[in-house]
Structure 1
Amino acid sequence: MTAADSRSLWRQRGRGRDPLTAETCPALATGVDFEPTGEGSVWLATVQGVPSARLSRAVVDLLTAMDGRTPVSALRVRFAPEATDESVLRLVERFRDNGLLAGGASRPPGRVAYRPPFTLQFATLRAPALFAHLDRLVVPVPRRAALAAVAAVLVAGAVAAILQAGDLRNVLTRPLPLTGFVVVVVALGLATLFHEAAHGLTLTRLGGRPRRAGFMLFYLTPAFFVDVTDGWRLADRRHRVAIALAGPAVHATAAAVAMLAALGLPASTARETLLLLAISCTVVVLVNLIPFVRFDGYIALMSALDEPNLRGRTVRDGAGFLARVLFGGPRQPQALERWWSVPFGLCCLIAPVVMVLFAVVRTAQLLAGGGPGASLVVLALESVVVVVGVALLVRALIRVRRSGVSRTRLVAVTAALAVGTVAAGILIPVPTAATLGYWVDDDRVVLVRGGADAGADIPDGARVILSTRGILANENRGEGRTAVRPAAEAEVPIEALYPVRVPGVTVAATAVAEVEVTGERSALPAAGQARVELGTTPLWHALWAAAVSPLATPTSEEERG
């Protein structure tokens, strides 16, 4: 047995499947069919009627020859005599992963489906009839006229945004009316429903059939979805791109319309609500167009390049590059023969990490100073991220080991990286700050924490930055020095602790210090966020203090005594 055969055996045993060797006799799975696409030699492979891959005629001939009696070695001699057994085995393994061969992937998802690590879908299988009925209800509009109208609205919305730049800044950096915030959340839910409906309706109008549609929990976030995999049956790749971009076009149009409506209103809660809706829809569009995660931008790019499973193949190339550089792994043929496959795959590996960390950090900032309850939410979120991150890291190391790298080098490099990470967390000093709320009480500026009693060690004379408390950003309005006072219970405006405002509504808090403001106080809002600079501390200590320490804060005089 060759070294390559040994690596293949290791990979297959690790996945709980029969190992693939040159003497394996693969068989086509039940329910697999091949359909011409009308694009010359390109064929579509389907599993239980669901498109799975786009193949050349030569590959279709190879698959149809897999009858369960012919070994891989004989198939190689017949169809690819210039290839090696290892390369053909990798191809067979990919076919099995796609569900084209017996013993491969499970059947296509049905009414309830789980997609690791954190996606749970609840679907109806009557989506084809549903969207066919919807297609009959929607008045057909010439494509060019529709595109021209959407383009005109988007341009007008962009002009309106420029004219309202200052107001948009205020919406981002100041507390928002709670009623407006609730309206925006509901409107975003409806916009998401129309977003997904646009995907399905566009596919239907172009001759495809949405197979499933429904509701899902996507990384614990509720959302709608429509399965448009059938779009791969369409011969014109421009149609597949149009299906992918139909959803973002809905949010972009909603943003432009909201921006134009706000332009015609005087300063009011309604205007702030419309501006927040416009900003939120714009953010949805920008996030959706990121090509490195499985959002609409990625699907549009994949369709435009006519490269199915683009992300999976480039991630495999990027991970192989890292395994080779870090662990001395064997050089593997690229899964995608493009010069940018490796950098694109590395970006696909990094982008989800950056997005998750940004979401966690911003959530922690929004809830900072909200007391033990808010800290518990942040700690739970951080714990989920850490657990999932460790699990993914362990799986990655297992894959690296199965690729044939030296066990000694794998252990040595992993240990060196772990020791380096721990040492960096101990030795690297980072600036730290306590995030609280502040409240202007007559002539005093009082620092407060959420809860009936959430006292903490605030040093006397520490520098304090006073700012607004906005949904997406804060604006510095003043600074001063702390003057520590005995902790005392207080009722403060809600915007002192959270980025929303409700006239006349107060929340329980604990006043822990006052601020001796330096400079002009006229620009200081009545309540907002305060950051007390605490000097520097090792990275690990800073993370622990931010995530865990607030939970350990005494909550009563008896506990402190």
Structure 2
Amino acid sequence: MSPRSTGGVADPVHLDRPRLAEDVVLHPPAEQDAPWILQKGTHQYIRIGEDLAALSRALDGAADHASLAGALGPRWTPALVGQAVGQLADKGMIADGRPPARRRRVRVLGPHRIQLTLLHPERLLAVLRPVAAVAGHRLSLGAGALVVLAGLVALVTLRSDVSLAMGSPLPLVGYLAVGVGFLLTTCVHELAHGAVLTALGGRPTRMGVMLFYFTPAFFCDVTDGWRLPRRHQRVVVALAGIAVQLVVGGLAALAAVVAPLEARQTLLVFAVLTYVACVMNLLPFIKLDGYLALMSALDVPHLREKAMADARSWLASTFLGARRERSLPQLSWAVPFGLGCMGMPVYIVGTLLLVLSDMLLGLGIVGATALLLVAGGGVAYVVVGLVRLGRQARRCGAPVGRTAAVSIGTAAAVVVAGAVVQVPVTVNGGYVVHDGAAHLVLMNGADDVGAGADVALVRRGLLTSHTLTSAELTAEGARPVPTPFEAFLPVAGTDVSVPLPGRPLSVAELPPERVGGAVVDLGMLPLWGWLAHTYLEPMGLELAAPPHDEETSR
């Protein structure tokens, strides 16, 4: 819902007798004291005052600057007209002789956000306008709030079942139900944004699918919400999707209370994921609904970009001695908010790596490649951020010597920390009870793991895992073991098995479940070695010496 800028530079010939570009629309104030708005295409909106609106109305391509100044009255001079026209041209609002840009189905808004437009939803959302009106009634809002609260109470009441559901494998049909349900819920979430905007007089322009931080999602472009005259209207549009999604999560939690046992786990997983998704959506540090609501409430376009600029300026001033600049002097919390916005993508990527690493690393080179791509995206983001910080420091006069000293010192500290800090090293795989004995199975084979290594046999769920028992790897050689997919993925009830080499394990008592996950403890490695061992060695790149531990090499 934030306005976007796609500025261009017009040919000076077209600036002499300017006119608005073909895809530019001038919107009058929606109510008294509201601003005029210039809209270019479907994504760019700028607010202007009465004087600039009068100039925009007069730009017909026939009048020069002197004629425009004469027509607009004594407050204008040809020089002021030229200055204003230049500003509009910088925003791409002045015709430059080129046809308007074609609407593209695919929009790349950075490596973390790629959108594919599937439809233009004006007619669909116009049909849903009565539904939005009913949903916005006080009785409907009260009933929805009760459902959300009752769902939370149900999850607390069933907390032991919730823990078991999140830490146990689901059948494939359960994952399919959760996936389809979540997909439909996010679709309704986006429709809610568009329906509320339509009910308030706005016009959603696009709907489609996107990749957002490596995660597929739907989107509904409600940038037109910036034409709404009141802040609270834009806040309602931003939060409409979360409100609908919370109600769906509450209904799923309530249904789990009365559902049969085989369906309860699936409903609980869906309800928890829905509530968690809503909480994440409310975080204002990335461009999700919570950020859009905050930006709308403050009525500050590009709040995140301006806050991050203030944060970079603070960093450059504090550590590099650069001149301090402020884009949001009216907000005392702009710098910490900007730092949070800068750090949130790193946190998201780190969380993805932690949550997915156990499951994906057990899949060998395929899983390691996926994790490496995610980690590479996080590293690229950090590098781009450091480059921007350096440019900011140089532009604001940071001393070259101090900048070089701080940069070298920081790099040296990172290198030393990576060589000194010790990190536990593990290998993720699975176990299978076969012929009355437990066996360790790894996608890349278990021959490289030394006898005596400690192995935790675990039950893996979608988000958590539970240790069933401990074991020790014996010195016996590997033997073919029929291995279900459940040994590597938290999917229950799969009858398909493949023969994999399994190493016998010594256990005091066999685990209660025939198949599950396994985590092999290989000792400790320095951070750099751990990174190489975790993300590169599964791809066949041997860059780190194996950890040496008397307990794992005897």
* Shorter-chain TM band: 0.7 to 0.9
Within 1, Cα distance between the matches of 2:467 and 2:381? 36
How far did 1:173 drift?
Answer: 0.8
Q: Report which stretch shifted further, 295-304 or 108-117.
A: 108-117
Within 2, Cα distance between the matches of 1:344 and 1:199? 25
1:205-236 deviation line (CA, Å, top 9, x unaligned): 11111122223333443322111111122223
- Closer, same or farther in 2 for the Cα pair 1:141/1:115, shift >3 Å? closer
Tell me, yes or no, if structure 1 residue 458 matches structure 2 residue 449: yes
How far did 1:340 drift?
Answer: 0.5
Is there any run of 5+ residues in structure 1 with no aligned partner, and where? 1-14, 19-23, 71-77, 80-88, 555-561
Tell me, yes or no, if structure 1 residue 318 matches structure 2 residue 306: no
1:52-94 deviation line (CA, Å, top 9, x unaligned): 2446668879999999979xxxxxxx99xxxxxxxxx9x9999
2:478 is paired with a residue whose SS is strand
User: Normalised by the size of structure 1, how large is the TM-score?
Assistant: 0.81
One-letter amino acid of the counterpart of residue 359, structure 2 = L
How far did 1:522 drift?
Answer: 7.2
Q: Report which stretch shifted further, 408-417 or 165-174.
A: 408-417
Q: Which residue of structure 1 lines up, in the alignment, with residue 539 of structure 2?
A: 551
Tell me, yes or no, if structure 1 residue 382 matches structure 2 residue 370: no
One-letter amino acid of the counterpart of residue 139, structure 2 = A
- Closer, same or farther in 2 for the Cα pair 1:172/1:95, shift >3 Å? farther
Q: Which residue of structure 2 lines up, in the alignment, with residue 7 of structure 1?
A: none
Q: Which residue of structure 1 lines up, in the alignment, with residue 530 of structure 2?
A: 542
Q: Which residue of structure 2 lines up, in the alignment, with residue 163 of structure 1?
A: 157
Contact in 2 for aligned 1:120/1:216 (Cα 8 Å)? yes
1:486 is paired with a residue whose SS is coil
- Closer, same or farther in 2 for the Cα pair 1:96/1:496, shift >3 Å? farther
How far did 1:279 drift?
Answer: 1.6
Q: Which residue of structure 2 lines up, in the alignment, with residue 217 of structure 1?
A: 211
1:133-188 deviation line (CA, Å, top 9, x unaligned): 33367784561021012112112212211221111101111111111101211121
One-letter amino acid of the counterpart of residue 270, structure 2 = L
- Closer, same or farther in 2 for the Cα pair 1:210/1:28, shift >3 Å? same
User: Normalised by the size of structure 2, how large is the TM-score?
Assistant: 0.82
- Closer, same or farther in 2 for the Cα pair 1:197/1:437, shift >3 Å? same
Match of 1:446 among 439, 459, 479: 439
1:273-288 pair list within 5 angstroms:
273-288=266-281
- Closer, same or farther in 2 for the Cα pair 1:108/1:163, shift >3 Å? farther
- Closer, same or farther in 2 for the Cα pair 1:35/1:329, shift >3 Å? farther
Q: Report which stretch shifted further, 208-217 or 371-380.
A: 371-380
How far did 1:341 drift?
Answer: 0.6
Q: Which residue of structure 1 lines up, in the alignment, with residue 550 of structure 2?
A: none
How far did 1:128 drift?
Answer: 2.3
How far did 1:484 drift?
Answer: 3.2
1:508-523 pair list within 5 angstroms:
508-517=499-508, 521=509
Contact in 2 for aligned 1:360/1:381 (Cα 8 Å)? yes
Match of 2:258 among 264, 271, 286: 264
1:475 is paired with a residue whose SS is strand
How far did 1:396 drift?
Answer: 4.1
- Closer, same or farther in 2 for the Cα pair 1:197/1:462, shift >3 Å? same
How far did 1:441 drift?
Answer: 2.9
Tell me, yes or no, if structure 1 residue 335 matches structure 2 residue 331: no
Tell me, yes or no, if structure 1 residue 424 matches structure 2 residue 417: yes
Contact in 2 for aligned 1:487/1:510 (Cα 8 Å)? yes
Within 2, Cα distance between the matches of 1:416 and 1:134? 59
Within 1, Cα distance between the matches of 2:167 and 2:353? 19
Within 2, Cα distance between the matches of 1:124 and 1:281? 24
1:36 is paired with a residue whose SS is coil
Match of 1:192 among 186, 191, 203: 186
Tell me, yes or no, if structure 1 residue 239 matches structure 2 residue 227: no
Match of 1:183 among 173, 177, 185: 177
One-letter amino acid of the counterpart of residue 376, structure 1 = T
Tell me, yes or no, if structure 1 residue 229 matches structure 2 residue 223: yes
Cα RMSD for the two superposed structures: 3.6
Q: Which residue of structure 1 lines up, in the alignment, with residue 552 of structure 2?
A: none
1:374-415 deviation line (CA, Å, top 9, x unaligned): 223323333344345434443443344334323333333222
| Equivalent residue pairs, number | 510
2:531 is paired with a residue whose SS is helix
Within 1, Cα distance between the matches of 2:125 and 2:305? 30
Within 2, Cα distance between the matches of 1:54 and 1:28? 18
How far did 1:475 drift?
Answer: 1.4
Calculate percent identity across the aligned residue pairs.
35
Q: Which residue of structure 1 lines up, in the alignment, with residue 427 of structure 2?
A: 434
Contact in 1 for aligned 2:349/2:375 (Cα 8 Å)? no
Contact in 1 for aligned 2:474/2:503 (Cα 8 Å)? no
Contact in 2 for aligned 1:316/1:335 (Cα 8 Å)? no
Within 1, Cα distance between the matches of 2:314 and 2:19? 32
Within 1, Cα distance between the matches of 2:507 and 2:119? 64
Tell me, yes or no, if structure 1 residue 251 matches structure 2 residue 245: yes
Within 1, Cα distance between the matches of 2:318 and 2:455? 46
Tell me, yes or no, if structure 1 residue 40 matches structure 2 residue 33: yes
1:196 is paired with a residue whose SS is helix
Q: Which residue of structure 1 lines up, in the alignment, with residue 343 of structure 2?
A: 350
Q: Report which stretch shifted further, 309-318 or 366-375.
A: 366-375
Tell me, yes or no, if structure 1 residue 493 matches structure 2 residue 487: no
Within 2, Cα distance between the matches of 1:124 and 1:372? 34
One-letter amino acid of the counterpart of residue 242, structure 1 = V
Q: Report which stretch shifted further, 53-62 or 32-41.
A: 53-62
Contact in 1 for aligned 2:434/2:481 (Cα 8 Å)? no
How far did 1:28 drift?
Answer: 9.3
Within 1, Cα distance between the matches of 2:520 and 2:101? 56
Within 2, Cα distance between the matches of 1:350 and 1:62? 43
Within 1, Cα distance between the matches of 2:133 and 2:325? 52
Q: Which residue of structure 2 lines up, in the alignment, with residue 527 of structure 1?
A: 515
Match of 1:411 among 404, 407, 430: 404
Q: Which residue of structure 1 lines up, in the alignment, with residue 546 of structure 2?
A: none
Is there any run of 5+ residues in structure 2 with no aligned partner, and where? 1-6, 67-74, 77-82, 543-554
How far did 1:437 drift?
Answer: 1.4
Contact in 1 for aligned 2:119/2:208 (Cα 8 Å)? no
One-letter amino acid of the counterpart of residue 452, structure 2 = G
Q: Report which stretch shifted further, 177-186 or 208-217.
A: 208-217
Within 2, Cα distance between the matches of 1:28 and 1:101? 6
Contact in 2 for aligned 1:458/1:513 (Cα 8 Å)? no
Contact in 2 for aligned 1:482/1:516 (Cα 8 Å)? no
Match of 1:116 among 106, 110, 114: 110
1:484 is paired with a residue whose SS is coil
How far did 1:547 drift?
Answer: 0.7
Within 2, Cα distance between the matches of 1:142 and 1:373? 47
One-letter amino acid of the counterpart of residue 151, structure 1 = A
